[in-house]
Structure 1
Amino acid sequence: MIKAQVYVFLLCTALIFSCNKEEEQKHKKPNILFILVDDLGYHDLSVTGSKFYETPNVDQLANQSVIFTQGYAASRVCSPSRASIMTGKFTARHGITDWIGAKTGTNWRSRKRYDKLLPANYVQNLPKDDITIAETLKSNGYKTFFAGKWHLGNKGSYPEDHGFEINKGGFHRGGPAGGFFSPWQNPKLENKQKGENLTIRLAKETANFIQQNKDSTFFAFLSFYAVHAPIQTTEVKWKKYRDKADSLGIAKSGYKMERVLPIRKVQDNSIYGGLVETMDDAVGIVLKTLKDNGLDKNTIVVFTSDNGGVASGDNFSTSNLPLRGGKGYQWEGGIREPFFIKVPWLKSKVTETNFPVIHTDFYPTFLDLAGIALKPKQHIDGISLKPILEGKEINTDRPLFWHYPHYGNQGGEPSSIIQQNGWKLIHYWEDNRLELFKLPSTEKDEQNVVAKHPKLAKQLHNKLMSWLHEVDAKFPEKDTEYDSIKDAKRDFNIINKKLKSLEKNRLEILSKDFKPNANWWKSKITKD
């Protein structure tokens, strides 16, 4: 009799504890997991149309999310976009308009580019005056964690200086110093095992943080160095994608000329394919940790990229077609991104929307979903996307702005952009010419329709110029030492030499006996 009473008592206690735990979860602020991939193009995922790359884990996440088909990076290159995510401000407003480390002014001449303009100066550390999303969440009881690429300033402007309590791997460098396999050269991430993959390590560090803080409320920011150059993978993954390219049929030509540089027109880079798949493997590790710890139902998950895929310059890694351009470019291929937001407790019927959104929207959206008072003076260029996530509409014709008074390493030109009501106007600073596109069709077809809509173009241009001056944007200046002969010679060499070398390299990578070095970028453990 006594045993039975004890059993009933324990059962009741367990039920009460379970009910209390469920009630506590209901009233607990949501956890937030932000996954940012470096240089991932819009079409670099199976779920967004790639027939070559395989990304089952990200695809599954996308299928559980609201997919924003017109999701935009705040810039065509990394540092400005990252600063906009952190601050909720457009790039011309916070002042970081190029990747930190890029040369400006007369120093640009050392690149021997012979361009017409000298790039504008820009802010080179995330401004201290801005209250980052991490700082706001931390002040509202969140445990904050950062892993991976930072590239928002030098010492004194690292993640731990802007609201993140833990920093694993974030410092001033924009690429994976030492490569993607240990030993790497990262003062914020110790080497533990030779040959360890950096992308997987960052995922494990994030998973460990989640495991250790499962009873708290957390903001985990997983910022992969992948798929940034140098592109590296294992021999096994290279072979998988090399064989896949072969089975799909290797195109005779992989490149064509864009305005300034050659650009990749096919997805068949087997090294890059392996790099993308490893990123997907890493995402799977973190998502599994959420589920295993019962956190998947109370964790907002975001997946996006900081700029378009690298189709020119760097390693000419991928193709963004049918979107034009890629990283560094002013067209859709440079700024359209995978943009997924999963809010598991919202039973919205919306699975996909073409409402234009941008990086600055994350800040107010997170606060709104967490029941934290918005900070409109801080995230001034963002809006909360909570209504859309709930299946409602947002009635706004707000303009989106981009400002890049620089030359891109990948072929992009100094230009500024306004996009509103389905129209996109680009102003080029070299000669003040304009391009006007009706999205999405005309840019895919490379049809500049400015001559057909001069009144609209003028209205948008006036609005763009007015906004740039309002936020005290910095502009490029004419280079008084510009040499048109040297400029033309450089263009000639690109057309006549670079194209041939790229095609040769592409076929070498796809050959059956390709071998980059003895240990496959340190992924194979060899005897010292």
Structure 2
Amino acid sequence: MFRKAFLLFIIAISILSCSKKKDPNFVFILVDDLGWADVKCNYPESFYDTPNIDKLAESGVRFTQAYAANPVCSPTRAAIMTGKHPNRVNITDWIPGNDPKKRPLLGPQDADELALDEVTIAEKLKEKGYKTGFIGKWHLGKKGFYPEDQGFDSNIGGYHMGHPPGGYYSPYNNPKLPDGPEGEYLTDRLANEGIKFIKENKENPFFLYLAFYTVHTPIQAAKSSIEKYKAKRETLNIEEVPFREEGEGWTKMLQEDAPYASMVNAMDENVGRILAALKEHGLDENTWIIFTSDNGGLSTLYRPNAPTSNGPLRAGKGWCYEGGIRVPLIIAGPDVADPGRTTETPAISMDYFTTILNLAEIDHKDNDGQNLLPILTNEGSLDRDELFWHYPHYHGSAWTPGSAIRKGDWKLVLFYEDDHVELYNLANDPGESTNITEQNPEKVSELQKLLEVHLNETNAQFPVPNHDYAPRD
């Protein structure tokens, strides 16, 4: 009788153990400077081939109107880490930024690191026993503020630099990344490290943050596919690459750069390798994957030699027009309903913090983000109608200090040098080609007031007049 009861007890325990839901894993893939139109599933006319990213979209939800929190990298990366608007953590420019002294305005002095008292997503996941690994570009502070100081168990490649100092081929000249064999390509190496992390932590719930340095400058071709794209470019029969004026700068209007295309190709291949590794270790059905970028593609500069074009979107990295802030976003995972669909629901960098922590069932403050799970499960909507951006600095893309707000389909852009505003309706004019302020004075007033409320509420800092500025004749 005792043996029978004991056996039933063991069976019951086994059933309970088997039925207990495992904590999901998370793989967050962040590509540097990848434009909205740089992936084929967003922009079928793209010069670049991204079959693995396209396949990921078929297994998840593709957000067609996803945004970076800022048109440059460090503020967006801080927003992802904390779920807070960049204004709140006082990181509103790339670190350390470029503060010209011969312009009409002086930009505010923002922080050069993510403060240690900020609670990061890695620190929250560690509360529940997650293994946390950072691989790639950090750009959120010098020594003492590295990933290992902000909740990550391991850090490979992450330090204060915003670009690969040794370029994309070993030796890397990166104190957090030992050199590989001669000819090793950085994007391949970071994926190798990601696959190793997955294998070593397959028995534990884990959070892998894979932040590729690519496709940031310097533009250095991946040897594996450069000949393919050189040949493809020849078929375009281009006599002259088209550009258009953008303020004092120039925006590239056509994708045709073969070395850049090969860098996108290498990134896509390595995304495929990460997905294959998850499947090989039986983790693909219990892993959430988020794929996105930190800002729009680099299409606008003071001189006409940018590497990419953002398709129908206006301008690029550094600008608060759509080309500078709209980014690819694909989320795939166990509870996605109707995989392969798209959503026009706007999402932004701060949303990932609360979305991941809700999926992990970890108590947290929502901060400035929203939980995207209702969109992923197709069981609801977001209670948000407004997004705003604040970039009060000058940038090498020819951007001058300004801010922007989107409410529904309406978008207002404000420039601080002369306080002029522009109004667009994104439903009718996604390329922001027609300024309709004069036809809609009440909407302009509404959005300006709303933007002012958001800026004040997030403790935004503003540029000030440069009293030493002497206008050029």
- Asked if Structure 1 and Structure 2 have the same fold, meaning a TM-score greater than 0.5 normalized by the shorter chain, the answer is yes
Does the CA-based 8 Å contact 1:397-1:421 persist in structure 2?
no
Aligned with residue 89 of structure 1, among 84, 91, 97: 84
Aligned to 1:354: 344
Tell me the TM-score normalized by structure 2: 0.93
Deviations 1:164-211 (A, max 9, x none): 000000000000111000011100000121111111100010100100
Map of 1:491 onto structure 2: none
Aligned residues: CA RMSD: 1.8
The aligned counterpart of 2:289 is: 301
| Partners of 1:294 and 1:231 in 2: CA distance | 36
Q: Does 1:203 align with 2:191?
A: yes
Q: Does 1:229 align with 2:223?
A: no
The one-letter code sitting in structure 1 at the alignment partner of 2:82 is T
Q: 1:67 to 1:288 in 2, by over 3 A?
A: same
Larger Rg belongs to: 1
Contact between 2:321 and 2:432, CA under 8 Å: does it hold in 1?
no
Whether 2:252 is the aligned partner of 1:259: answer: no
Match of 1:47 in 2: 41
Query: Which structure's residues are more often helix, by fraction?
Result: 1
CA contact (8 A) 2:314 2:431 kept: yes
Matched residue of 1:172: which SS?
A: coil
Deviations 1:32-82 (A, max 9, x none): 000000000000011111431011111111111111111000000000000
The residue that corresponds to 1:511 in the other structure is none
Paired amino acid for 2:354: P
Matched, 1:63 2:58: yes
1:212 Cα deviation after fit: 0.7
Counterpart in 1 of 2:468? 481
Helix, strand or coil for the counterpart of 1:187? coil
Cα displacement (A) at 1:354? 0.5
Counterpart of 2:316?
A: 326
After TM superposition, list the pairs within 5 Å mapping 1:87-486 onto structure 2: 87-104=82-99, 108-109=100-101, 114-235=102-223, 237-313=225-301, 316-348=306-338, 351-373=341-363, 375-376=364-365, 379-485=366-472
Looking at structure 2, the residues matched to 394 and 65 of structure 1 have their Cα atoms a distance apart, in angstroms, of 17
CA contact (8 A) 2:61 2:339 kept: no
Identity of aligned residues (%): 44
| In structure 2, distance between residues paired with 1:350 and 1:247 | 31
Residue number in structure 1 paired with 2:7: none
Deviations 1:262-302 (A, max 9, x none): 22111000010111101111111111100000100000000
Distance 1:433 1:443, change over 3 A: farther
After superposition, give the CA deviation of every residue in 1:341-389 in whole Å (9 maximum; x if it has no partner).
Answer: 101343346711101110100011111112222x22xx42101011111
Number of residue pairs aligned between Structure 1 and Structure 2: 458
Secondary structure class of the residue paired with 1:59 = helix
CA gap of 1:425–1:365, structure 2 versus 1, over 3 A, is same
Note the residue ranges of structure 2 that are not aligned, 5 or more in a row.
1-10
User: Residue type matched to 2:35 in 1?
Assistant: G
Deviates more, 1:245-254 or 1:451-460: 245-254
Verify the 8 A CA contact 2:313 2:432 in the aligned structure 1.
no
Residues 46, 294 of structure 1: alpha-carbon distance in 2 compared, 3 angstrom cutoff: same
Change beyond 3 A, Cα 1:395–1:159: closer
Whole-Å separation in 2 of the counterparts to 1:70 and 1:443: 10
Gaps spanning 5+ residues in structure 1: where?
Answer: 1-15, 489-528
Q: In 2, Cα distance between the equivalents of 1:145 and 1:215?
A: 15
Distance 1:440 1:194, change over 3 A: farther
Secondary structure at the residue paired with 2:256? coil
Q: Kindly state the Cα deviation for residue 395 of structure 1 after the two structures are TM-superposed.
A: 4.8
Equivalent residues of 1:330, 1:413 under 8 A apart: no
Q: Is the 8 A contact 2:95 2:140 kept in 1?
A: yes
Contact 1:331/1:443 (8 A) holds in 2? no
**Farther off after superposition, 413-422 or 219-228:** 413-422
- What TM-score, normalized to structure 1? 0.84
SS at match of 1:146: strand
Is 1:23 paired with 2:18? yes
Cα distance, 1:335 vs structure 2: 0.4
Q: State the one-letter code of the partner of 1:232.
A: Q
User: Displacement of 1:22 after TM fit?
Assistant: 9.1
The separation in 2 between residues aligned to 1:442 and 1:273, in whole angstroms, is 28
| Partner deviation per Cα, 1:85-121 (whole Å, 9 max, x = no partner) | 00101111111000001133xxx22xxxx42111111
